[in-house]
Amino acid sequence: MLNPNEVLSARDAFFRHVALTSDAPMGIEIDYAEGPFFYDTNGRRYTDFISGIAVSTLGHRHPVVLDALRSQLDRHLHVMVYGEFIQRPQSDFARLLTSVLPESLDRIYFVNSGTEANEGALKLAKKHTGRSKLIAFRNSYHGDTHGSLSVTGRDVYRDPYLPLLPDVHFFDFNDPAVFEAFDSETAAVILEPIQGEGGIIPAKKAWLQSVREACTKAGACLIFDEIQSGFGRTGRLFAFEHYGVVPDILCMAKAMGGGMPVGGFAASSRLFEAFMYDPPLNHVTTFGGHPMSCAAGHAALQFTLENKLWERAPSIEKQIREGLDLPGVVEIRGRGAMLGLVLPDFDTTRAVVERCLAHGLLLGWTLHSNTLVRLAPPLIIEDEVLQDAIAILRESILACQS
Ligand code: PMP
């Protein structure tokens, strides 16, 4: 038996008792975080250029989020499973969010995470259509629970868990070949308007518009996974606004809670009837839309809207593109503050990421690519901090050229 009185450092406890997801975690011990920075327990400051993977769009511990949390803390925490009681933070957040979405997306089902939003969206599409066939794309990433993994297009992550959901059909992203797959059995198409983990790959506008038309014609639901691209990151509140295409179901999470865990999927009242009847309570969650998370999310969204935070994204993109127009940079892909820097090979990419970290700049990878550096700073980042980060990147790219 373990001795509960044995004093362990946080580091030792982490490495001995927290389940790890790789044998080489970064292992930075966090002391505190504020704005675009976080600090480790040695007093080192880091600029966060990945925003906790597209979460901290408002930076860390934004004052409006902290105020909302404090005031909710004095009212109530969890009281009842999702969907039974009227809880003001949930209702207010749903009201505000639907007010800025297209009219057809007039309800939100709150969950706890991104993958759970996708799970719910897939179930909603299946129940609403009474069909089971799903269309998804290679190099997509939709989460690691079984349903989301079933529509994630990367075999190396899927193979250890086979069999997954049947009747999922994969196509290349942006490939018109997908149009041959639509039929009267198709329940849904799920895609990211800008693939994130696949290496920051935007959908082509005409192709996405045709996917919308094909869904409408086949009576299938179009599901957009905007878990990574949502809440201003690409220069619009949601990436679908760049395309003039409205999904039937919109999945959200990550930045949605201003740093607190919450996800959700939006759809029409008509679609959501599928969850109300035959039988009632056929899709429920205990913690979905936790009052603390919804209070934080509401405050974060209000701040985002009042300050039109998405308008900051094009300037961030411009500064990054100009600052990193260097020999050795193969390409910068993406939109706004959802960018991917492509370097020539894995060794250079790793060396650049490590060198930047040594200089106090946190960058990261995407799951499906090892020559692409994720650039996703908080939208509140000031020009001076942004320019300092770009200077570190420049210096590192030039120093690491082989
Ligand atoms: N979809 C997309 C596009 C994502 O980027 C992610 C997370 N990287 C997820 C789904 C899964 O979200 P979560 O980790 O909150 O389950």
CATH of the domain at 78: 3.40.640.10
What residues flank ligand 1, with Cβ below 6 Å?
Answer: 53, 113-115, 118, 141-143, 192, 196-197, 225, 227-228, 253
Q: Quick check: is 384 in a domain?
A: yes
Q: Which residues contact 133 (CB under 8 A, 6 or more apart)?
A: 167, 169, 183, 185, 186, 187
Q: Whose CA is nearest to atom 15 of ligand 1?
A: 114
Give the helix/strand (H/E) hosting 323.
helix 313-323
Question: Closest ligand 1 atom, CA of 367?
Answer: 8
Question: What pTM, to 2 d.p., does this model score?
Answer: 0.97
Q: Which domain holds residue 150?
A: 64-306
Q: Quick check: is 51 in a domain?
A: yes
Percent of the chain past pLDDT 90, that is, above it, reads 96
Q: Whose CA is nearest to atom 13 of ligand 1?
A: 114
User: Ligand 1 centroid to 114 CA: how many Å?
Assistant: 5
Q: Whose CA is nearest to atom 14 of ligand 1?
A: 114
Q: Would you state the pLDDT for residue 363? A: 96
Q: Would you state the pLDDT for residue 302? A: 98
Q: Quick check: is 4 in a domain?
A: no
Residue 35: helix, strand or coil by DSSP?
A: strand
Best residue among 50, 110, 119, 142 to mutate for probing ligand 1's pocket (most ligand atoms within 8 Å of CB) is 142
**Strand partners for 258:** 260
Claim to verify: residue 125 and residue 270 sit in the same structural domain: yes
Residue 22 tokens, joined: 């790789």
Given a contact cutoff of 8 angstroms between Cβ atoms, the answer to whether 195 and 175 are in contact is no
User: Ligand 1 centroid to 41 CA: how many Å?
Assistant: 28
Best residue among 145, 152, 227, 287 to mutate for probing ligand 1's pocket (most ligand atoms within 8 Å of CB) is 227
Q: Quick check: is 138 in a domain?
A: yes
Best residue among 21, 51, 112, 115 to mutate for probing ligand 1's pocket (most ligand atoms within 8 Å of CB) is 115
Best residue among 223, 229, 254 to mutate for probing ligand 1's pocket (most ligand atoms within 8 Å of CB) is 254
Model confidence band, residue 234 (pLDDT cutoffs 50, 70, 90)? very high
Q: Would you state the pLDDT for residue 402? A: 67
Claim to verify: residue 70 and residue 55 sit in the same structural domain: no
- pLDDT of 105 over the 80 cut: yes
Q: Would you state the pLDDT for residue 369? A: 84
User: Ligand 1 centroid to 276 CA: how many Å?
Assistant: 26
pLDDT digits (tens, 9 = 90+) for 165-187: 999 999 999 999 999 999 999 99
- The closest of 23, 39, 21 to 31, measured between CA atoms, is 39
Claim to verify: residue 295 and residue 317 sit in the same structural domain: no
User: Ligand 1 centroid to 43 CA: how many Å?
Assistant: 31
User: Ligand 1 centroid to 291 CA: how many Å?
Assistant: 22
Model confidence band, residue 1 (pLDDT cutoffs 50, 70, 90)? low
Q: Quick check: is 5 in a domain?
A: no
Q: Quick check: is 217 in a domain?
A: yes
Q: Residues 259-280: what's their mean pLDDT? A: 98
Q: Would you state the pLDDT for residue 100? A: 98
Q: Would you state the pLDDT for residue 119? A: 98
Claim to verify: residue 33 and residue 71 sit in the same structural domain: no
152/328 Cα distance (integer angstroms): 31
Q: Residues 12-19: what's their mean pLDDT? A: 96
- pLDDT of 401 over the 90 cut: no
Q: Whose CA is nearest to atom 5 of ligand 1?
A: 228
Question: Closest ligand 1 atom, CA of 53?
Answer: 8
Claim to verify: residue 72 and residue 194 sit in the same structural domain: yes
Claim to verify: residue 330 and residue 301 sit in the same structural domain: no
Claim to verify: residue 213 and residue 260 sit in the same structural domain: yes
Claim to verify: residue 70 and residue 215 sit in the same structural domain: yes
pLDDT digits (tens, 9 = 90+) for 123-179: 999 999 999 999 999 999 999 999 999 999 999 999 999 999 999 999 999 999 999
pLDDT digits (tens, 9 = 90+) for 83-98: 999 999 999 999 999 9
Number of domains in the chain: 2
Mean pLDDT of the chain: 97
Q: Quick check: is 3 in a domain?
A: no
Claim to verify: residue 26 and residue 74 sit in the same structural domain: no
The residue from 263, 278, 306 where one domain ends is: 306
356/35 Cα distance (integer angstroms): 19
The residue from 258, 274, 306 where one domain ends is: 306
Q: Residues 368-387: what's their mean pLDDT? A: 95
Q: Which residues contact 322 (CB under 8 A, 6 or more apart)?
A: none
Claim to verify: residue 156 and residue 302 sit in the same structural domain: yes
CATH of the domain at 394: 3.90.1150.10
| Helical axes 88-99 vs 291-306, angle rounded to 10° | 30
Claim to verify: residue 205 and residue 174 sit in the same structural domain: yes
Given a contact cutoff of 8 angstroms between Cβ atoms, the answer to whether 310 and 176 are in contact is no
The residue from 306, 339, 362 where one domain ends is: 306
Q: Would you state the pLDDT for residue 5? A: 81
User: Ligand 1 centroid to 289 CA: how many Å?
Assistant: 17
Claim to verify: residue 48 and residue 101 sit in the same structural domain: no
Question: Closest ligand 1 atom, CA of 145?
Answer: 16
Model confidence band, residue 107 (pLDDT cutoffs 50, 70, 90)? very high
Residue 73 tokens, joined: 């803390």
- pLDDT of 59 over the 80 cut: yes
Q: Quick check: is 1 in a domain?
A: no
